[in-house]
Chains A and B, each alone.
Chain A
Amino acid sequence: MTDSLRTWARRYGALIRAGWMVDVQYRAAIVIWLILGVAQPAITLAVWWSVAGGGDVGGFGQADFARYFFAVMLIDQATLAWDVWYIDRWIREGELNFRLARPMNPLHEAIADNIAYKGKSVVLIALVWFLIAVFWPAVRLPFEPGRLGLAALATVLAAAIRFLTSYVNGLLAFWTTRATAIAELQWGISLFLAGRIAPLSLLPPAVASVAGVLWFPYMIAFPVEILTGTLTDTGAILRGFGWQLFWLAAWAVAYHFVWTRGRRRYGAVGG
């Protein structure tokens, strides 16, 4: 048992190091992706800031919007999932072949890449947030270790859900050439249901309640609301974690199903 644990620790160490090195090679490109990542929430914040200039909007003042969208930028980077683009290419161009030949599920390589990348981007965004907070009181968060711990836990679960949705979506490339188009549709829906355009409480109540039973808000809005202190009710927090665990399990089952079926269909390039 401890032996296999040690083997896995060594494997992940090697994979994460490899992913880290590749990222360092492409650091300028990564900064550009980061800029795109923060652009949409930053612009949305700027407009809400103006709208809230005349007084509170649905219980949100200017500073509340600022904290909310800063948290969206951070959590979005922490849960970012690009895997659909990679896996789509692996399958279409046959790059999956050598990965299947390894004595390890390619899922682990993807997880390690995620850890390596987010280790950098999350620290960078948090650092920039901290520096801005020094000069701009609106984006300061009260320091409460308990809540930060809960937010971190919710963020890890959110990242796992979002990773699996993206990974499963990528595996659809076994059947269709439009896997990435499906991912873009998901992204469009998440603009509203994950809380990217506005906090869910500002959406029509019917939309917000539909969102509440889907996986979208548990990928961004839920950890954001814990982090900013919007969500303090113990019952609501527990329910949120319950939904996170439910959707994590559901997507894990979906992964298992798609991976076993898809591999049987896979003929590789020229196969």
Chain B
Amino acid sequence: MEQSVGKIRRAFGVLRAFWAANLAEELEYRANFLASLFATMFWLGTAVLTAAVFFRQTATLGGWGFWEVVALLGVFNAVGGVVDAVLRPNVGRIVDLVRRGTLDLILSKPVDAQFHVSFRRLVVWRLSDVAFGLGLSGFALTRVDHAPGAGAIVAFLLTLGAAFAIVYALWLGLMSLAFWFVDVENLGILFDALYEAGRFPVSAYPAPIRFVLVYLLPIAWITTVPAAALTGRGGWTTALSAVFVAAASLVLTRLLWRAALRRYTSAGG
């Protein structure tokens, strides 16, 4: 017990060192902050207008009203922000590390390689997507007639945490493919293609697609479920299922990572 507490404390210490170094580096490029802020606002506006185009023709999308869909788009943007800030610059690099054999440098460090590969970098400006995304969700809630109670907020935080874990597992799983298909350099694009489906509540899709998004490619758990919790649509069963899906994804990812490392033949191999 004491040993694992020490491990966790050490991990946090390493993380702080990683990100402090990154922050110092990023602060050199402050103009990027304004550009990033502008991009955040532009894409949020685009997303809301896209929903508005659909709602010109219909009163609900899959049973969700306009502002409920906007709350979902806020979640979509927040999770997308975490992807751009943490996953793409780290996990997204795995293909390159494997191809060039520079993964050797990480494997030889006294830190867990999966941890290092996953969290070494932080593109801090993209966190504006997280802040404004959650802000948009909050604003949308003031327009929905049933305001969420404390229970809904707890369920939301729980399912949002699960969403982050699932999206992490998806990225690491996708990128682990690089160990088998070394010559595919744009695997991250596959996530972008898949994540597009997260812009709408899964109930807005025809039944076969809905099935795929819930059970095969867990996109429903990333945006629909947290947004449903926030707008008081999801029950506790769904929230707990989300936690279970997240835990299962993390375990599977760890197993896949180990299997992938066993395949890795290093730079000269």
Residues of A within 8 A of B187 (CB): 32
At the interface, yes or no: A58 with Cβ under 8 Å from chain B? yes
Which of B181, B189, B193 has the largest number of chain A CB atoms within 10 A? B193
In B156-207, the 8 Å CB interface with A consists of 181, 183-187, 189-190, 192-194, 196-197, 199-200, 204-206
- Residues on the B chain within 8 Å of A191, using CB: 46, 50
The SS class assigned to the B binding surface is helix
The stretch of A3-11, A196-204, A217-225 that contacts the partner chain? A196-204
Chain B residues with CB under 8 Å of A198's CB are: 53-54
Nearest residue, chain A, Cβ from B43 = A188
Partner of A32, one of B53, B184, B197: B184
Q: Note all chain A residues with C-beta closer than 8 A to B197.
A: 39, 43
Chain B 18-61 interface residues, beta-carbon cutoff 8 Å to A: 35, 39, 42-43, 46, 49-50, 53-54, 56-58, 61
Interface residues in A168-220 by Cβ distance below 8 A to B read 178, 181, 184-185, 188, 191-192, 197-198, 202-204
Contact B54 A204 (CB under 8 A): no
The answer to whether B46 touches A29 (Cβ under 8 A) is no
B residues adjacent to A (C-beta < 8 A): 35, 39, 42-43, 46, 49-50, 53-54, 56-58, 61-62, 181, 183-187, 189-190, 192-194, 196-197, 199-200, 204-206, 209
User: B39 touches which one: A39, A40, A58, A181 (CB < 8 A)?
Assistant: A181
How many A residues touch B, CB cutoff 8 Å? Answer: 30
Bound-state CA distance A192–B43 (Å) is 13
- Please provide the chain A residues from 33 to 50 with a CB less than 8 Å away from any CB of chain B in the complex: 33, 35-36, 39-40, 43, 46-50
The chain B residue with its CB closest to the CB of A57 is B57
- B196 contact set on A, CB distance < 8 A: 39-40, 43
